[in-house]
Chains A and B, each alone.
Chain A
């Protein structure tokens, strides 16, 4: 079947799956306990399905979904590495999963120890002094980091620092976060080698003297290129009174090799759902811890895990803290998975992760660079960006190549990003793929490049083997249908 009915279209009145505990107290009528004016007149119209229907429905849906466990997922900048099963088992231990967030510290010592130690591990990996574990995702980490920078400048009385510099290759969350934090963004141009254009940086810093709050960047950047001028960039930004923010989306390239703190960064966010192998969950949850250099410690959100003579405890943040950025301590069970991953890898293992990620990316790019344009031809780090410009001559675009890859059971690369590469295809193999998988991908990409010349219609009509074909995005946006509604005719009868 190529469609799966909605859960609302299944079942029958009176069917159900879950049972509740036997009522072992007197059954008082609801109306005697709460005035009728507060109550629903009808139960919410949720589905009425039996357990077998429910299980088959969601099993069928899972079969209509592609994950890392299904196949190769070289989605650039997303680090879709294998998600170890032991991480899942550790996060499901009742001592972690069944723990209330407001449990007295004395009864949550194990959880506090995990958080305390994880903070230390992340500080060591990034070269930062301390790390807040509250942010729920990378973008949440970005806004948190920018708030810390803002509080720092305000504390120094430098309220006129209202500009955040963002390279033209940056992730979309960077400008969105800066804007949310009340900053004006100024775009920095890339140079011919794909790094920050130092000359343009100099001009921008001079043009906005005294107004620079921060520069946000990834290194390696979204081209997969390590900006070798980073120390010079850091010096100039700091001389201009700005702070340097590290977007950790690409940290899988650097563990044990270099650290943002050693490059001169003041604030770092991690994406544990990328670098530390926690599953992406079909869109989340992630975790976006933020590390800071010593001068920014007073501004961290609180509370922070601490260790005293009587064990671990939550320590309130000081008076200069930006305050909370969410309720409770963060995406704790994601943090438990990341903690497990770091301890399983150890220091040598993490370095091996990054080195292998770099090797796999270079292996693929070198094997394919005669078939696709490589606008920035350099030794890459963990990912690289091809352009489909050559294929475009046959009217085959990056989108079409992406759709054709679906026919081979491969998740497409990130396309049309970064914006500085036309027809961009951003490929990140990750370290957890075998040589055979990479070789197979290379063969498929070469075949598609040949098809583009010889049978472009095969690509333009792709995908051919998926449960649905190309979907009408325009219709979806023009006539938004965002929820199921009962059929009025059927309901009336």
Chain B
């Protein structure tokens, strides 16, 4: 099954119209010495009912969050998705369209992206937002590269930025030739003293995450003062956009660029992708923004319409002098986020933030009532928190797995000094029963071990 509609007889008629006998003749420009002289070594074709059976069986071998209560966050967050979101995103006029280069027949996607850009500005307190980037990690990379520009310099990054984001930054720092300097931590947040000591005239940007990888709230104003005093761009990253429902918008505390991950705004976790890179900034960086931008304009009949704009920043016009090489982005996830945020709306989104906060604090209190579990840090947090455990996290998590529960993240994987430390995440999707079951299981595992 190739989804090729034309029959062999029709193809034969088409070949005749072209003036050749066989398809082979059309392939004559491909020299014999590079031709593949055997069939591709791939499994034989499957009919639709058969592929469904194969894929169904593969999917069954994964612990999906509908069947396994999970306390895993660490960069990817499980939130409810109202039914309207997938129904509208699956309108195939949206998902089977290309990048809206022909605005007259792409007003739907263009307007949705304009609404997305507006909502991102509303959440972040920034002046402008782009139409999306690949994911949170590459959005951070783009922020660093905007700050570096065509020159070089230092980028200071907090060690409380998601470890995968820092790893991605390291790759790009090497290839792009800028210095990436990690700023140490104190009580689970960026050390203000360490930051002050690391700032130099070569510092082009300071990047922190808020709430940070440990779920903790950063001392955002102290960092702002230091960054700006040194003349650096202040970049605030987020991996949990639900925090923006409750926390002061980064624009209010002086961020210049806000970047982050927006996947959980209406799109599935999908084992990590596709994700939704968000990029917003103050007006002064507008002409240096990476990626696509949608703007409002008028047509030749005087009607309002939307177009891709400021394209002279982009690769298809500027080629080697483009602000970024991005072409394909994550438009469909931006659409999902727009529908999602409108579905929750002003009061619903606020309530979402409140529920995450309350459930996470309830869970923290109960987990830390188990013998040997204590909060690792004393900083305020949103829906994720680090806990010192009486046993190695790997051991605890194996016990939880045996009970059908997905435990917290083992922090020693990225922070060798944090042994026996787990990062638990609790969103609005975790019920009291889930939390009680987790606490009971932890008690059992600890007492079994004793």
Contacts and interface: CB of A to CB of B under 8 A. Distances in A.
Nearest to B7: A435
Contacts of A182: 175-177
A358 B93 contact: no
B61 interface: yes
B217 A258 contact: no
A469 B175 contact: no
Contact of B332 (A61, A285, A358, A381): A285
Interface string A15-58: 11111110111111010011100111101111111010011011
A281 B331 contact: yes
Contacts of B416: none
Given A228-B29, A346-B43, A110 B59 contact: yes
A116 to B, nearest CB: 11
A215 B82 CA distance: 48
Contacts of B244: 44
Given A226-B30, A463-B104, A482-B294, A345 B2 contact: yes
A231 to B, nearest CB: 6
A220 B23 CA distance: 17
B8 to A, nearest CB: 10
A83 B36 CA distance: 27
B2 A406 contact: no
A367 interface: yes
A262 to B, nearest CB: 5
B202 interface: no
Interface in B41-74: 41-48, 51-52, 54-68, 70, 72, 74
Contacts of B346: 16, 43-48
Chain B interface category by residue count = 35 or more
Contact of B3 (A4, A25, A432): A432
A356 interface: yes
Nearest to A75: B98
B33 to A, nearest CB: 6
A282 B100 contact: yes
Contacts of A493: none
Given A67-B95, A280-B98, A470-B104, A20 B355 contact: yes
A351 B24 CA distance: 12
Chain A interface category by residue count = 35 or more
B171 A484 contact: no
Given A172-B315, A467-B104, A333 B273 contact: yes
Contact of B310 (A96, A351, A477): A477
B122 A44 contact: yes
A100 B96 contact: no
Interface string B325-366: 111111111010011011111111111101101110110000
B369 interface: no
B325 A142 contact: yes
Contact of A257 (B6, B35, B119, B317): B35
A455 B298 CA distance: 26
Contact of A96 (B104, B271, B305): B271
Contacts of B335: 282
Contacts of A280: 95-99, 328
Contacts of B48: 86, 344
B197 interface: no
Contacts of A426: none
A447 interface: no
B66 A359 contact: no
A364 to B, nearest CB: 10
A348 B248 CA distance: 57
A244 interface: no
A306 interface: no
B96 to A, nearest CB: 3
Contacts of A286: 328
A34 B175 contact: no
B275 A328 contact: yes
Interface stretch (A132-140, A202-210, A289-297, A388-396): A132-140
B104 A403 contact: yes
B102 A8 contact: no
Interface string A230-274: 110000000000000000000000111111001100000001010
B309 interface: yes
Contacts of A402: 102
Interface string A331-366: 111101000101111111111110110111011001
B138 A140 contact: yes
Given A89-B52, A468-B103, A55 B84 contact: yes
A169 interface: no
B307 interface: yes
Interface stretch (B10-18, B227-235, B370-378, B438-446): B10-18
A83 B102 contact: no
B254 interface: no
B419 interface: no
A472 B304 CA distance: 10
Nearest to B218: A38
A273 B134 CA distance: 14
B40 A125 contact: yes
Contacts of B132: 283-284
Contacts of A48: 345-347
B96 A279 contact: yes
B72 A102 contact: yes
Scoring A102, A262, A355, A466 by chain B CB atoms within 10 A of each residue's CB, the highest score goes to: A102
B225 interface: no
A15 B106 CA distance: 29
Given A228-B31, A359-B14, A469-B104, A349 B357 contact: no
A406 B58 contact: no
A141 B316 CA distance: 16
Nearest to A68: B96
B134 A61 contact: no
Given A136-B135, A263-B34, A143 B104 contact: no
B76 A484 contact: no
A26 B361 CA distance: 10
Contacts of B412: none
Contact of B339 (A3, A58, A347, A475): A58
Interface in A375-399: 378-379, 381
Interface string A455-475: 000000001001111111101
Contact of A345 (B45, B304, B330): B45
Given A102-B72, A328-B76, A281 B35 contact: no
A326 B137 contact: yes
Contacts of B315: 139, 172-173, 175-176
Interface string B238-252: 000000111111000
B432 interface: yes
Nearest to B77: A100
B345 A49 contact: yes
A95 B27 contact: no
A467 B72 CA distance: 46
Contacts of B27: 257, 355, 358
Contact of A2 (B105, B298, B303, B343): B303
A156 interface: no
A125 B134 CA distance: 26
B390 interface: no
B200 interface: no
A477 B295 contact: yes
Contacts of A352: 2, 4
Nearest to A164: B320
Given A93-B56, A96-B271, A33 B361 contact: yes
Given A61-B108, A104-B401, A137-B328, A324 B167 contact: yes
A17 B345 contact: yes
Given A20-B80, A61-B111, A469-B104, A324 B171 contact: yes
7 contacts: A34-B217, A44-B122, A45-B346, A102-B409, A325-B168, A381-B29, A476-B307
Given A322-B171, A343-B45, 10 more contacts: A7-B338, A25-B362, A30-B246, A68-B92, A86-B52, A98-B66, A108-B62, A271-B328, A324-B167, A471-B103
The 4 closest A-B pairs by CB, nearest first: A328-B272, A95-B59, A346-B45, A101-B272
